[in-house]
């Protein structure tokens, strides 16, 4: 090989090496990915449940006697006080029965006095052996019978008094009158529904939770984690008074796998009504929650994964368990620690075993960015 050929060969090799070097550098630049580490922080999460709102007290007001509605003292939707008269039923018949019972008492008392006088006379004659013992015993029995008639007449009077009292229907507690079913002059039977009365100063909110959510709630309650109950109204606004979970039912529904909770909410403005709808927001606090960006994860066959980068910058796929979902973030149950580094963006461009260059971004900076978007 002459000198010129050697020079050409060396030049070609140099160009090839330079091209390879340039290609490798370009590949290295394409393999640079932002990475971050899970952050341990205290946070809260909220779960929403459709709820059925019921008054603290909601009872049916029914007639206890038959008759005509004589007068209605209240109007629909108006507040009433305990003991306030709501309806009166024509009680003329019961007034007559009461007067008759009072007259029977007077008659029975008069008969008793007569029988007692006859008993005294019979006793005097019996003591003087003028009459037989049977006459004395008969007089004594007449007194007992007269006393029985007095008691019977008093019972009739008490019954008549009750009927007269039942002709006036009064509110059993403070509340709000609902729809009035009949008008003045209507003939009603015993047991007829007249209206309903609701005490809305406080309300109950019933909602169903799954077994997993129930266990999480019970565990957080046992660990004295804070529970903050809010109520979203049908228009999307929040009820301005917070509530508390009072009771939990004793068994799960076999068909749904859920269990019912009951929360109580103050309602001094009487804004909430019996039968209202809404959503309960159950807010819980998590201490030392391990959080990562949602966009750093991917799902395969209902399981979640991330790409972590080891000490040699090699990409490894790792399965994780998610505890709760927050806006743009996941709270991790298991699979990661604060010492791990995971790819934050571009996970669709890497595979298991790839070697990359990383650009570390603190998790606090990422959270600050996504919360201001």
Give me the percent of the chain exceeding a pLDDT of 70: 89
CA atoms within 13 A on the CB side of 289: 19
Strand stretches in the chain, DSSP E: 32-36, 39-62, 67-72, 79-80, 85-89, 168-170, 175-177, 187-188, 193-210, 227-233, 244-248, 258-266, 277-293, 297-300, 303-309, 315-326, 329-334, 342-343, 357-360
The answer to whether 86 touches 169, Cβ cutoff 8 Å, is: yes
User: Does the domain spanning 64-89+169-191 belong to CATH 3.10.250.10?
Assistant: no
Question: Phi first, then psi: what are they for 94, rounded to 5°?
Answer: -70, -30
pLDDT at 28: 36
Over the stretch 312-329, which tens digit does the pLDDT of each residue have?
Answer: 999 999 999 998 888 899
- Residue 8 pLDDT greater than 50, yes or no: no
pLDDT at 227: 58
7 exposure class (CB count in 10 Å sphere: 0-12, 13-18, 19+): exposed
pLDDT at 20: 45
The answer to whether 162 touches 186, Cβ cutoff 8 Å, is: no
- In this structure, what DSSP letter does residue 237 have? P
- pLDDT bin (cut points 50, 70, 90) of residue 24 is very low
Q: What is the Cα gyration radius of the chain?
A: 44
pLDDT at 17: 44
pLDDT at 225: 43
Q: What is the CATH number of domain 32-43+288-371?
A: 2.40.420.20
The answer to whether 190 touches 64, Cβ cutoff 8 Å, is: yes
Segment 45-59 shows an average pLDDT of 90
pTM exceeding 0.75 = no
For CATH 1.10.287, list the domain ranges present in the chain. 91-166
Which residue, 69, 62, 274, 65, is CA-closest to 172?
Answer: 62
Least confident of 17-26, 78-87, 92-101, 352-361: 17-26
Of the two residues 39 and 215, the one the predictor is more confident about is: 39
For CATH 2.40.50.100, list the domain ranges present in the chain. 64-89+169-191
81 exposure class (CB count in 10 Å sphere: 0-12, 13-18, 19+): exposed
**Mean pLDDT over all residues of the chain?**
84
| Class level of CATH domain 91-166 | mainly alpha
pLDDT at 177: 94
CATH for 46-56+200-287 (2.60.15.10, 2.40.30.170, 1.10.10.10, 3.10.20.600): 2.40.30.170
């Amino acid at each position: 090989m002459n000198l010129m050929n050697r020079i050409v060969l060396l030049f070609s090799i140099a160009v090839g090496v330079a091209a390879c070097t340039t290609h490798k550098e370009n590949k290295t630049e394409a393999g640079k990915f932002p990475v971050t580490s899970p952050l341990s922080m205290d946070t809260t999460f909220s779960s929403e449940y459709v709820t059925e709102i019921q008054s603290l007290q909601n009872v049916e007001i029914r007639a206890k006697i038959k008759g005509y509605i004589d007068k209605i003292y209240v109007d629909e939707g108006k507040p009433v006080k305990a003991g306030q008269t709501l309806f009166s039923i024509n009680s003329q018949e019961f007034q007559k029965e009461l007067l008759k019972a009072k007259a029977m008492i007077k008659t029975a008392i008069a008969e008793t006095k007569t029988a007692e006088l006859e008993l005294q006379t019979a006793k005097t004659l019996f003591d003087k052996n003028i009459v037989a013992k049977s006459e004395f015993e008969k007089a004594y029995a007449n007194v007992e019978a007269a006393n029985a008639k007095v008691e019977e007449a008093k019972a009739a009077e008490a019954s008549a008094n009750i009927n007269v009292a039942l002709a006036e229907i009064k509110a059993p507690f403070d509340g709000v009158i609902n729809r009035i079913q009949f008008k003045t002059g209507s003939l009603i039977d015993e047991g007829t529904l007249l209206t309903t009365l609701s005490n809305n100063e406080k309300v109950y909110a019933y909602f169903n939770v799954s077994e997993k959510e129930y266990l999480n709630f019970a565990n957080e309650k046992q660990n004295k984690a804070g529970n903050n109950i809010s109520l979203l109204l049908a228009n999307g606004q929040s009820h301005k008074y917070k509530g508390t979970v009072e009771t939990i039912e004793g068994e799960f529904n076999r068909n749904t796998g859920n269990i019912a909770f009951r929360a109580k909410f103050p309602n001094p403005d009487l804004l909430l009504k019996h039968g209202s709808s809404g959503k309960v927001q159950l807010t819980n606090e998590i201490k030392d929650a391990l959080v990562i960006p949602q966009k750093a994860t991917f799902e395969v066959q209902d399981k979640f994964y991330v790409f972590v980068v080891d000490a040699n910058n090699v990409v490894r796929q790792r399965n994780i368990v998610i505890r709760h979902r927050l806006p743009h973030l996941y709270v991790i149950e298991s699979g990661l620690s604060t010492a791990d580094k995971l790819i934050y963006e571009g996970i669709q461009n890497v595979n298991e075993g790839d070697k990359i260059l990383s650009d570390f971004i603190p998790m606090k900076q990422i959270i600050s960015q996504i919360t201001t978007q």
